[in-house]
Every structure is written in C-alpha cells, then in structure tokens.
Chain A
Amino acid sequence: MTPIVRRSLAWPAVVAALTLATLAGAGSAAALAVGGVGAVAVVAYHLWHLWRIAAWAAGPPDARVPDGYGVWGPLLTLIHRRVRARNVYEQDLRNVIARFEAAASAMPDGVVVLDAADRIEVANPRAQALLGLDAAHDRGQPIVNLVRQPGFLAYLEAGDFGDVALVPSGREPARMLALQLVPFAAGRKLLMARDVTEREAVARMRREFIANVSHELKTPLTVIAGFIETLQDLELDPAQRARFLGLMREQAHNMQRLVADLLTLSALESEDHPLVDEEVDVAALLRAAADEAKLLSRGQHAVDVDAGPAAIVHGSHDELASAYGNLVSNAIRYTPSGGRVALSWRIGPDGTGVLAVADTGIGIAAEYLPRLAERFYRVDRSRSRATGGTGLGLAIVKHVALRHGGELAIESERGRGSTFAIRLPASRVVPAASVTSSAAPRGTAA
C-alpha cells in the first residue's frame, strides 16, 4: 500500500474506532450519532477538495493548483509538480518553434512548405515578397493557383526536383526567380525561391563575351589557315608568295593586338590590381600621343596639339597613355586622309581635367553612341576590322577613365567628326604654377 492509500484510510479508521468505542461505552444511539457525524465530516472534507479541484480543472490553463489538507496535501503537490514540469516542457517546445520560425524568416531565400496536395502550409516573409503570397490568407491554397508561371507548372509536373525552374517573377517580369522543390517527410515539399536576376545577367554577359571573343579569334585564323593551305598546295611565284605572307602577317598582328587588348582589359578588371598613384606629366603624355599619331598617319593627316595649362595628373601613367593612345589611333583610323586630328588638354573652371581628341572624320550617328564603349560593339564591322580595330579599344578607355574616377565623354556628328574625351576629376588634377603654363609646348605639325 502506498503512503497516500494508507493515509486516506486513517480518518475513516479513526471514525470507525470512535464509533466502536462509543458503542461499547454509551450504547447504540450515541454510537450511531458519532459514526454519522464522523462519516459526514469525512465525506465533507473530501467533497470540499473535490470541488476545489473541479474548479481548478475548469479554470484557465495557467491557474495555480489548489492547496490541500491532510491526505490531499501531498497528492495535490504531486499534481502541481507535474503541471509545472509540463509547462516547462511546453515552453521549451514553444521556444524551439519560435527559433525555427525566426530562422525561417531570417533565411535570405523564400521558403514555402507545401502539403501532400501541393497546397501552401507556411511561407516565410521572403517567399511572400518574391512570390506575391499572403501567408495569413493563402493557407490551403494550391501553390499553382498563385505561382502560375507555366515554367513552374511544367517543373512541378515533371517531378524531377534535382533541377531548378527559372521563371520570371510575376510581379516584376524583369526579375528572374529560381524555384526549387525539395520533397521531405510524407509527400510534403519545400519550395525554395531565390532571386537570380543579377546572376543570370552576369551569366548572359559572359556567354556573349565568350561567343564574341571566339568569333574575333576565329576570323584571322581562318584567313591564315586558308593561306597556309594555298602555299602548301600551289606552286606560286615569289611575288604572290610575298603578298600572301604579308596578308598572313597582318592577320597574325590583328590576333596579337586582340589578345593584348584582352589581357589589358582583364588586368584593368582584376581586383588584385589596384590603381597605382603616379605623377603623370600631361604635356609629355600629349607629346608622346602626338608622335604616335604622326607615325600612324604617315603624313596623311594634320595633327594639332594644344597642350593647355601644364599640369600633373595623379594616376597610372601606363593606363592613361594606353587609353589616350587608343583614342588617338581611333581618330587617325576613322579620319580620311587630308583630315585633321586635334589633341588637347583643358582644365575646366571646376578643376576637372579633359584629355580630348577631336577629328574631322566620318563621325557616328547619335543612336550608336550609347553602346559605343561596349566590348566588341562596332557600328560598321567590316570597316573596323579592315582598319585593324579589335573592338575593345573604347572599352579599355572607359575602364581606365572609370578607374581614375572619371568618365569617357563622346560627342559626334555623322559626317562632321567626333570628339572623344577622358574627363578626370578635379581631385586628381594638380595644375602646375602659372609660369610654366605660358612656356608649355604648343606645336602644330602636318
């Protein structure tokens, strides 16, 4: 017998003993009275506890377990302990769920839990934003009713969830979403949604770039391979031979230039290649560019140099020289012989330095200007290649200008000529003392 059972029998035993004692001492009437009163007292004592427990059980869930007396005391203490243990356990579980929900909300990806019939059960805030769901109202809604992109539907029906479905966002068609289903317990699925717009754009650019590079490299190779075959198969006279070899050398040069430009671009773009801070003498830079221009022109163009105020530019000498050289060689190549190419340096009233090349060449129609500095963008493909362009020159110039905190400015009019200018921010331009400005070299050469 447990102590509680023993104790519960104590009072009835006392009453029974008293009754028996009265019966022996005072007769049956008195014994009946004592036994009756005792029994009523015991029953009343139990009933009182019973009602209190009933009131507690029917009350609010967090109500205190009532205190008890006698045999009820330890019993109610036991119940109280159990209730408390259960409360602690429940609180733990609640914390686990809260942590899980907080983790789900903090996920950078959208997460939707789907039931066995692909209905929405739970969606984290990111999923609601990406997919236009409303977790409060959309519980139980088939996911395909709200995520209606045919691409997703096909993916869901195909049932191959190793892959992802790439679909445009319903709310902003320009954004691309990657949706992936992950099956888990009992036919349920997790729908993960990620915004992959940027990643897709980068991937597309890379694809286009590789396609372009391959094409640009293939063209000269085709020419060279063709001539090699001809030279192998045919007996040619020395004059023809020399001509073919000359053409081959030209194509090989083109390829070399292209590869050199690609290497320059990749160096400009790589992050472990910070901009060096040198003091670049603009006048010397201009002189060197003018010499190069005259060399390229072979006397066919008038080359003007307006060195402007003497100044020092903080930046990379090699990069600026190569960028400006690109602009100068473009000007020569796109200006018919007899034209004029003007190299100039100016410092604006706000301190910005402008390194410009103006030509009287063929010019560019306005609609082509915005895309001009894109890699491999050419207004006229055949002309560009015929004059030995790689299609990367302006991309390099733009990169160099951006690296120096400046920009590439283009003004052009069809048939009238163009002005390409590298604008450098005032912070990089240090004008020399005004004395030197008048002594700056100023020359014109034909």
Chain B
Amino acid sequence: MTEHTNKQFDAEMEAIRSGVLSMGGVVEQQLMRATAALEKEDDAGLIDAVGADEIAINRLQVAIDQQCAQIIARRQPTAVDLRMILTVSKIVNDLERIGDEVKKIARKAVETYGSARLAQVRIYDAAKTLGTTMTMLRLALDAFARLDVVAAADVIDRDAAVDAAFASILRQLVSYMMEDPRTITPALEIVFIAKSIERIGDHAKNIAEAVVQVVKGKDVRHATADEIRAEIAQP
C-alpha cells in the first residue's frame, strides 16, 4: 500500500472509532434523561426525548455497521485493525441494546407513576442503580477511547454492585407483595424496570470486555474478574 492509502485507511479507522463514541454519547444522554424521568415526577418531555434518542441510536448503529462492512470489503484489514473493526461492531450492538432497555425503562416509569406511592419509594433505589450503570457506561466508553484496560477492568468489577442492587430491589418488592397484594401490579412494573437496569449493567460490562479484547487480543467474555486482572498484568 502506498503512504496515501495508508493515511486514508488510518483516517477511516479513526472515523469509525469516533463514530462509536459519538453514538455512545447519545446513549449516555438518553440514560441521563431516563434517570431524570425516574427521579422526577412523570415528565412527558423527557419521555419523548428518550424515544427520539432511541431513533437516533438505531440510525447510528446502521451507519457504523455499514462503515465497518465497507472497510472490511475494500481494505481487507488484518490483525489489530480487523480486531478493532470486529470490536467496534460488537460495541455498537451493545450500545443499541442499552438504548432499547432505556426506552423500556422510560415507558414503564410513566405507567408506574400513575399508580401508587409504594412505587415512588422503590423507584428511588432503581434510579440510584440506574445512575451506577450510567457511570459504568461512561467509564467503559472512556476506556475504549483511551484503550485503557485497567479502567475497563474497573468497569467489569462494578457490574457486581449492579447485580447486588437488582437482587436487593427484588427482595424488597417480594416482601411488599406478600404484605399487601394490592402492591403486586406496581411492584411487577418495578421488577421490569430493575431488570432493564441490570441488563444495562451487563451491556456496559460487555463493552469493557471488548476493550480488553481489542488491546490484549484475548477473549475475556467468560473470564472471572481475577483472570481478567491476571491477563491485564501480562505485558
């Protein structure tokens, strides 16, 4: 390859990387709005904005996937570059799924607010956990921008806290439902919200694992936290 095509190739690679991160920015914004929607009383404007974000996210997913396919077809990248493109398309998938979950949360939040006061108390915990997943996503995307495996490992660690919070919300809801059957309907809505939040944590963790993979060239999807740390420690 001549120097000119090399440069152009580098620019294309840089463009898909920045594309993923800007898509991540839209997802972060959407998550932020959903958290606000959970914390405040139902705000129709926020819910609409979350829906609009979701549409933008889907459009970005298609565009970036197309860019990836074109690079593979036209440039036949190898080794590190190929790994980067495969990782990008994985991360794009996770981001799109987060967008879906966030939209579900926002919709459920509206329905729940209509119903009971119990909801408001429990939803507070859910909003806090959603805040944790928002931090996870931010750190995961930062780790991808910097290709920082240590930060990525930190994100993977944090997922345990989200899982624990999900279990605790579930336990509390069960005790409410046993005490008073009238709370079952709103409690079920909150279970769905909590489940979506837990899924967002998982997707953020997937993104962090993809970062480790692109840097270290090793699939750590089913590795334990200690194994991942050991992998990172290797030069």
Contact = CB atoms under 8 A, between A and B. Distances in A.
Contacts of B138: 132, 170-171
A170 B148 CA distance: 18
Given A132-B142, A138-B146, A145 B134 contact: no
B142 A146 contact: yes
A171 B28 CA distance: 11
Interface stretch (A66-74, A147-155, A300-308): A147-155
Nearest to B117: A367
Given A132-B142, A173-B35, A145 B26 contact: no
B108 interface: no
B224 interface: no
Contacts of A145: 17-18, 21, 145
Interface in A169-183: 170-171, 173
A134 B68 CA distance: 29
Contact of B32 (A132, A142, A173): A173
A141 interface: yes
Chain B interface, DSSP helix/strand/loop, else mixed: helix
Contacts of A151: 29
B146 A137 contact: yes
Interface residues of B, number: 21
B25 interface: yes
Contacts of B146: 134, 137-138, 141
B22 interface: yes
A150 B145 contact: no
Chain A, interface residues (CB within 8 Å), range: 10 to 19
Interface string B115-147: 000000000000000000010001001100110
Contacts of A137: 146, 148
A144 interface: yes
Contacts of A38: none
Contact of B28 (A134, A141, A142, A170): A170
Given A171-B138, A173-B134, A148 B32 contact: no
B22 A148 contact: yes
Contacts of B226: none
B24 interface: yes
Nearest to B35: A173
A226 B27 CA distance: 52
13 contacts: A137-B146, A138-B146, A141-B145, A142-B14, A145-B21, A146-B21, A146-B142, A148-B21, A150-B26, A168-B29, A168-B32, A170-B138, A173-B134
